[in-house]
Structure 1
Amino acid sequence: MDWAAWHAGYDNPDSVLAGRLAAVQAVIRAALDQAPPGPLTAISMCAGQGRDLIGALATHPRRDDVRARLVELDPRNTAVAEQSAREAGLTGITVVPGDAGLMRHYRDMAPVDLVLACGIFGNLTDADVLRTVEACAQLCREGGTVVWTRHRRPPDLVPVIADWFSARGFEQVFVSDPAAGFGVGAHRLCHPPRALQSADRIFTFVPEKQPAQP
């Protein structure tokens, strides 16, 4: 999979991907609107070019309150994310080149106010999706929000993922309508985060979705 070329779908305003991006950005803005005053922290797994968080923050009143870490493996995508953050004047954003499936990238920031797990769940086994949900319960602050995505192709795992979050102490804030053609969810943690586990590996993309060599 060429994850740099994949981003071209965002540039077609009529595409499902562009619609998903708009929904994710709207959920992020709503979470920022409802967050308590003061500094905020965020992490983005498999951040790609950072279009979701950078796009949401660029014009948001809380933009300067947010310190965020974007983790992305493809160096072409990290370069775009860094440039976009600079152009938007978002000095609180750090882009980390690396395997987003490793907990080591997040431990020193956890727990955070906002966890983005977008563009991940459709590329994992169901067991790794569940493992990532469990990791989110460790990485998210009480009252913090996890924003996630998953395609709606059969078998539609979106309702199952929503139930997995609920079973781990999250309340559902938003799940997109199936008619939209994409799945976007947001869940807020209602109790203190779970203790960080010692295991480092959270998820691994299935073989056909592994990044191509640039």
Structure 2
Amino acid sequence: MDRHDWHHVYDDPDSVLGRRLRTVRARIAEALDAAPPGGIKAVSVCAGQGHDLLGVLAAHPRRADVRARLVELAARNAAEARAAAAGLGLGDCVAVVTGDAALVRNYADAVPAVLVLLCGVLGNVADEGMEETVDRVSRLCAPGGTLVWTRNRKAPDRDPRVCDWLEALTERRDG
């Protein structure tokens, strides 16, 4: 699959990904609205072309407060995200790293983040590695931060398990 051309599906607002994008953007806007005054660190894991976060930051009243790090392995997608951020006047507050999202060094100085995005990733992680992925990504969040994640609902539906893992992680960290 061409990871660059795949993103064209977002252009159709009635596609599954177009509808998912609207939902994710709504959650991002809610998280930014609810963030305490001051700086807001945001991280996007496997960010693709940055459609989700950049689409919100373009017009959000807190855009100047945000310092975002988008991590994307595919060089063409990272270049698209970088160009989009610059075109929206976000070049000073959005850093796009072309690199492996699994490497901690790619998040240096960007975590703990008030907002962490894990969108479109879990559907590509084998069942054996999903709980560890959820645990590691949740550690990028600041206390009280927001993790926005998506996963398809195709059988077998893993969403209930992901929710259970996140609840257990929250209880362990808060308790």
Same fold flag (TM > 0.5): yes
Question: In the alignment, which residue of structure 2 is the partner of 1:84?
Answer: 84
TM-score scaled by length of structure 2: 0.94
Q: How far apart are 1:107 and its partner, in Å?
A: 4.2
**Per-residue Cα deviation, 1:101-131 (whole angstroms, up to 9, x for no partner):** 2222124322111111111000011232211
Alignment coverage as a number of residue pairs: 174
Whether 1:39 aligns to 2:34 is no
Structure 2 residue runs without a partner (length 5+) = none
Question: In the alignment, which residue of structure 1 is the partner of 2:116?
Answer: 115
Structure 1 residue runs without a partner (length 5+) = 171-188, 193-214
Whether 1:133 aligns to 2:134 is yes
Matching residue's letter, 1:92: C
Contact 2:68 2:110 survives alignment (8 Å): no
> In terms of mean alpha carbon deviation, does 89-98 or 101-110 score higher?
101-110
Could you say if the C-alpha distance between residues 43 and 71 of structure 1 is closer, same or farther in structure 2, counting changes exceeding 3 Å?
same
Question: In the alignment, which residue of structure 2 is the partner of 1:149?
Answer: 150
Bigger fraction of residues in helix: 2
What fraction of aligned residue pairs are identical, expressed as a percent?
A: 52
SS of equivalent to 1:71:
strand
SS of equivalent to 2:80:
helix
Runs of 4 or more, structure 1, over 3 Å off, are 189-192
**Per-residue Cα deviation, 1:122-178 (whole angstroms, up to 9, x for no partner):** 0011232211211133211011000001001000111111111001017xxxxxxxx
Q: Distance in 1 between matches of 2:15 and 2:24?
A: 14
Whether 1:56 aligns to 2:56 is yes
**Per-residue Cα deviation, 1:67-115 (whole angstroms, up to 9, x for no partner):** 0110111111111101110111112000000111222212432211111
Contact 1:9 1:15 survives alignment (8 Å): yes
Matching residue's letter, 2:38: G
Could you say if the C-alpha distance between residues 190 and 39 of structure 1 is closer, same or farther in structure 2, counting changes exceeding 3 Å?
farther
Could you say if the C-alpha distance between residues 127 and 103 of structure 1 is closer, same or farther in structure 2, counting changes exceeding 3 Å?
farther
Contact 2:64 2:93 survives alignment (8 Å): yes
Q: How far apart are 1:51 and its partner, in Å?
A: 0.4
